[in-house]
Structure 1
């Protein structure tokens, strides 16, 4: 059956386009919106009037001297709900408050916490929310939580959380909404990074991936402008691709996963085992070895560390090579503390993916594979999770 596209459908689509540009630009004139959306200025005027009547957008006259010659600028209505964006682990909570148009309010904060139980973790999240509620008593402050591990984004349940001393799922959305009386939305921390790139980086394409190489290795895929989660919300588990079937046991229950070779946890484990076998180790102490010390040793040219890091980079590159051939996503942004290894580490990864038979290097540079370090600041990264509310609003109009 053919689907007929009516004027009403086109109108809704155009409203969506205008709202999307306003969330990206924060403020824009009619002429700017017309240029970005390729919609005529008279049509833009009509759409903005409708959105203003729905109290979704607001017109601001910034310079009274221009009144009569300028229609001012437009922005998302500031009277809407605010969002407290959080990146949550069992040992820390990062927070960035954002207003209705997802512009930052207040300072970015990082709190070290001790959460040996799910109840303690929930209590720490509540404590952070109350801190912001006290400082900003006016607007409704909803929660957007980025959680490491497998998350059911529909029910808001953290299924598994690596690094946590507990194994049971946590119904974060239900429990926090009951306790705080605000809306709560939950997703994976790599989804947070992907949304941050999608909404805050003008250079991002319709298809791209973010790879987070830290104590574990995670990823998130954006395909045709949309986060791809998979039916079981397990998409992006690149850290659990098998590198060596006879390798080290992984926390997932299998052997030889990429995480067991190339994550910071794996590198520190290799270093500690080796250091304990050395009679003299003047620089590194296996009992107190940190990720920063490991990265510093790499930059100092430590021979053994260089060997481990090179093996890790090659393993990541090989996994990406397979990934590129399967999905043909050719824009990849790297995040995580492993980015501290720098350009040489990234070049090793690039060398492994440089043999992609579908990247012909034929001069179409906009289609060539691009593997780079992400450039967004940490507050921008954390604020990415707040765009779940934006996408929910836009989907409701579609």
Structure 2
């Protein structure tokens, strides 16, 4: 037991040193001794191990100075990589992420993912092989694959329990991809994956306790507490789309009355407008809104009102340092950001508008986060 404990401690120390170099590079060995309180002998051993595994490299300080120049340690960011994959309703996105957590390549292919899970998996594997060939990536350098998609996910088994948007059910995505590629695969809800990339985007002290709210074909959230994804008992924490905001309101497709999703999802917005006019897309709604069409204006302002209530409840429940809003809603209707601030001031106890940010990752967030998760999960530091 003692030998096992000692081995575990060594692995943890090695992981700690690696993460320090990764997040705070360039560092010297004396810097690592100072940060970790480990002995110089232990730091030397760990650095030599990481060097021999080609995960870090040493770089001389070019600054002219008296005495011996410092040697800086940096991550060998291209020594390994991971693949990030997103299944959206009408598109498959895929990218390559290096050890530093940087998206070095991304590809997006239109594809009708809905109701075609087997074809979607085959298409993603084909894309993966094309990218590996095009980018000249050695398969042995690929740590694994991270997959993000909407729906209820068993992240431990890599299984889609149910996805309303994609109409997928009871599919072990991780096993299917592994069987076709031999790459270890991790699967999670797309917002939980994107929350990881948002964490790497914002200042560390802001992102430690953060809620990401995604507004698109549906609406949901991902919660970070102390830098870690909060999952709840069944990995469904953050499913705010089916929280009730109006018990006498719209009937949701889930069968309940007054769900937030029944007011602000793309499908519900278009359906509400289509009763009185030709509206088939969010672009149509944006056109009517810019023209000042009264019904569309009313529908959108009502949606923002209920969104403000939901965000106010998030601030009250979690008290995050940051709420990040993502998705196409505010890209189509940027002027509604002001309306959201006005409403939020009505429904919040404090000036929470200062803690609202808008994601800058656009369509890269899920792919980047999924790749980061795969890289961290499957990099083995023995």
Q: Taking structure 2 as the reference length, what is the TM-score of the superposition?
A: 0.84
Contact 2:282/2:332 (8 A) holds in 1 = no
The structure 1 residue matched to 2:236, chosen from 220, 234, 237, is: 234
Cα 1:319–1:380 change in 2 (3 A) is closer
Aligned equivalents of 1:162, 1:32: Cα separation in 2 = 53
Cα 1:356–1:272 change in 2 (3 A) is closer
Aligned equivalents of 2:247, 2:133: Cα separation in 1 = 53
Correspondence for 1:112 = 110
The structure 1 residue matched to 2:325, chosen from 324, 331, 334, is: 334
Contact 1:157/1:169 (8 A) holds in 2 = yes
Any gaps of 5 or more consecutive residues in structure 1? 1-5, 276-284, 362-366
Cα 1:356–1:257 change in 2 (3 A) is closer
Correspondence for 2:210 = 208
Cα 1:192–1:296 change in 2 (3 A) is farther
Correspondence for 2:276 = 274
Q: Counterparts of 1:351-362 in structure 2 under 5 Å? A: 351-355=342-346, 359=350
- Note the C-alpha offset of 1:41: 9.5
Correspondence for 1:191 = 192
Aligned equivalents of 1:20, 1:167: Cα separation in 2 = 37
Kindly indicate whether residue 127 of structure 2 is the aligned counterpart of residue 131 of structure 1.
Answer: no
Contact 1:298/1:341 (8 A) holds in 2 = no
Higher mean alpha-carbon deviation, 312-321 vs 246-255, is at 246-255
Kindly indicate whether residue 79 of structure 2 is the aligned counterpart of residue 79 of structure 1.
Answer: yes
Aligned equivalents of 2:266, 2:342: Cα separation in 1 = 21
Q: Taking structure 1 as the reference length, what is the TM-score of the superposition?
A: 0.81
- Note the C-alpha offset of 1:122: 1.4
Q: Report the number of matched residues.
A: 369
Contact 2:245/2:258 (8 A) holds in 1 = yes
State the secondary structure of the residue aligned to 1:160.
strand
Aligned equivalents of 2:97, 2:23: Cα separation in 1 = 14
Correspondence for 1:303 = 294
Correspondence for 2:355 = 370
Q: Counterparts of 1:1-398 in structure 2 under 5 Å? A: 15-24=14-23, 27-30=25-28, 39=35, 46-47=42-43, 49-54=45-50, 55=53, 57-61=55-59, 69-76=69-76, 78-80=78-80, 82-106=81-105, 108-115=106-113, 116-135=115-134, 136-140=136-140, 141=142, 142-164=144-166, 166-202=167-203, 204-275=206-277, 285-286=278-279, 289-355=280-346, 359=350, 370-392=355-377
Higher mean alpha-carbon deviation, 86-95 vs 13-22, is at 13-22
Correspondence for 1:278 = none
State the secondary structure of the residue aligned to 1:168.
strand
Any gaps of 5 or more consecutive residues in structure 2? none
Correspondence for 1:281 = none
Cα 1:48–1:213 change in 2 (3 A) is farther
Contact 1:56/1:77 (8 A) holds in 2 = no
- Note the C-alpha offset of 1:83: 1.0
Higher mean alpha-carbon deviation, 9-18 vs 301-310, is at 9-18
- Note the C-alpha offset of 1:52: 3.8
- Note the C-alpha offset of 1:167: 4.8
Aligned equivalents of 1:43, 1:20: Cα separation in 2 = 18
Aligned equivalents of 1:344, 1:38: Cα separation in 2 = 49
